[in-house]
Amino acid sequence: MLTIWLNYMVKSKKNIPAEQKILEAAKQVFFDKGMHGARMQDIADKAGINKAMLHYYFRSKEKLFETIFMDAIEHLFPKLNSILGSDKTAFEKIEMICVAYINQLQQVPYLPLFILSEANRQETFLKKLWANQKPPLKAFSDMIEKAIQQKQVKQINPLQLLMNILSLCIFPFAAKPLLQQVAGISKKDYAALIEERKKIVPQLIIQSIKK
């Protein structure tokens, strides 16, 4: 949730719609074009308001971008915490994580590439973000280590396992335009492939660690 919204909600309820419109428009344009490619004019047009308004609400393009970016990256680690904290088995949790990831990315398919690109450009933002909210890496590692000790899963580096999961879930979204072109398939067919992966990926992952 964007804390700035809360501020304005307290100050004046009337400001919410305009600001929401701006944020929604900015999201679309930034996700599509990236920080540098995006134009304030495009955002204003898409929001149906004046360009000057953007500067009224968010002092600068940089600030507006940072707001969007921070909000977006928080969606990278969605309900992982709740899944990890549940009382399911390790295998069930892993499957749920994969499916949750793919499900969420289907809603926001442009997120991965956006975040990867900007994370690459500006490590600063990442550091700022971790200060607030660390991704639940520890909980994940602990789960795996525990399952290893209980002889349920093979000896494996949790980081490698995490990398495998993230790769298999996220990459197909980041590489969509490229892969779709290479395979020469329609948008719809590609979506079907993704849908299919909700079964394939967990299978693949679990099979690889099961003892």
Partner DNA sequence: GTCTATACGCAGATAGAC
Partner DNA sequence: GTCTATCTGCGTATAGAC
Which residues here bind DNA, judged by CB under 7 A?
A: 8, 11-12, 14-15, 18, 38-41, 49-53, 55-56, 59-62
**Rounded distance between C-alpha atoms, residue 56 and residue 10, angstroms:** 18
**Rounded distance between C-alpha atoms, residue 203 and residue 128, angstroms:** 36
Q: Name the percent of the chain in helix, strand, coil, to the closest 5.
A: 80, 0, 20
Determine how many CB atoms are found less than 10 A away from the CB of residue 63.
14
40 touches which of DNA, its own copies, none (CB within 5 to 8 A by kind)? Answer: DNA
**Rounded distance between C-alpha atoms, residue 169 and residue 34, angstroms:** 22
The residue among 78 and 135 lying less far from its own copies, judged by its C-beta, is: 135
- The CA distances from residue 98 to 9, 62, 103, 165, in Å, are 36, 33, 8, 7
Work out how close the CB of 20 gets to DNA at its nearest, in angstroms, rounded to a whole number: 11
60 touches which of DNA, its own copies, none (CB within 5 to 8 A by kind)? Answer: DNA
Which residues bind to its own copies, rule: CB under 8 A?
33-37, 113, 115-117, 119-121, 123, 126-127, 130, 135, 137, 157, 159-160, 163-164, 166-168, 170-172, 174-179, 181-183, 185, 193, 196-197, 200, 203-204, 207-208
The residue among 5 and 136 lying less far from its own copies, judged by its C-beta, is: 136
